[in-house]
Structure 1
């Protein structure tokens, strides 16, 4: 980035560290929720998993997939072929293409008949009627669009799904249903990295919670430990616990961590 304190034409470049000292794992059969404040770097974490970096980025670290260490080429080969993204926004759907064709396009390794059969199977599983295939994205409800994005991610029968804020804009019933889909995928043997700022919903489906703050995971703990704040190690994690509605939004301990950014709701 450029130094904002300098005049426009004389500003020098400077390094801005966003992710650092970060270690996280997703195992088969589990949902790992990454929770934290908006702007803390969670979406950049999703990009890093997929090897999507800006040209001026400095990147170091190691990523393993299914026991093998990945380089940039390896991560690129996995995108859509074992590693799938459920993006944050339904704007990822092409407004000019019928959704059935879009979903089928995520399985290029299959024949046309196989792609159609796979898409029909997924639509039936997630309550999308056969008529939905001929609709354009603007003709879908919010919940339908989210389920179409999930079908896109599942077309290649992935091992791991990274879901980046998959519930914004959905009412509670639809949001719960969407997360139940990820839970079902994990229960069938897959792995899910659920990136969200909605800790309440995350606790409904996750096995472990990684608490994200200022570009790193400050605590990783089992969902069961959120039953009692004394079981939570980090001050920021305890603040999240106290800020939940059932705990009266009491941001206890905030005075001891004035630099904390409140969790978005």
Structure 2
């Protein structure tokens, strides 16, 4: 069993518990549920293109930064020109929580991506209830039909969809309603990073769809290389979060690019 299989197994257990504790109708009564969402597609066009991620830990790297608050980090990300914010809500493997989103939602005015392993309709109501604007669908753990159905549900709730792919086989998960396609430079099954593989996939995307390079972007050179190859967005977390001062690191990065 690879790490993705392990995560999904645990995620199914979590969802079952959440459903028994908080029914969908209760989620619909949350303060953020009727909030007008923000468009990541539009924000990426108008800003740096960077979706800056708040990330405490990961299965491959362990603890990255567990000493700085979400509000302190993401407010600075917005101030220095991030086009969007990605926040991990998986607890067991990434150290995230809903509270990380809730604690910043009223303080920033750029889109928030709920980054998690979305495998059940219930999770989309959760995302809406905590103030997310965008959800991540990972092709590696969903069928083509599930991607279609989850995309439709997301749009019904006013959420945009970032579909993440890793291989040519997963190109078939793309449908005409997907808002953005993310190409993960890191293979979720073995965690190897290959920027050229991502570029090859980028060249096979449908015309006109916004593309996001995800993970494994560690230098200005990586960013510039991917930008030159036509990527519209860049999801970056570890590069900033692993530094002693993520805010200063982000500020300096923006100045250079």
User: Shorter-chain-normalised TM-score: which range?
Assistant: 0.3 to 0.5
Which structure has the higher relative contact order (CA within 8 Å, separation 6+)? Answer: 1
Larger radius of gyration: 1
With structure 1 as the length reference, what TM-score do the two structures score?
0.34
With structure 2 as the length reference, what TM-score do the two structures score?
0.35
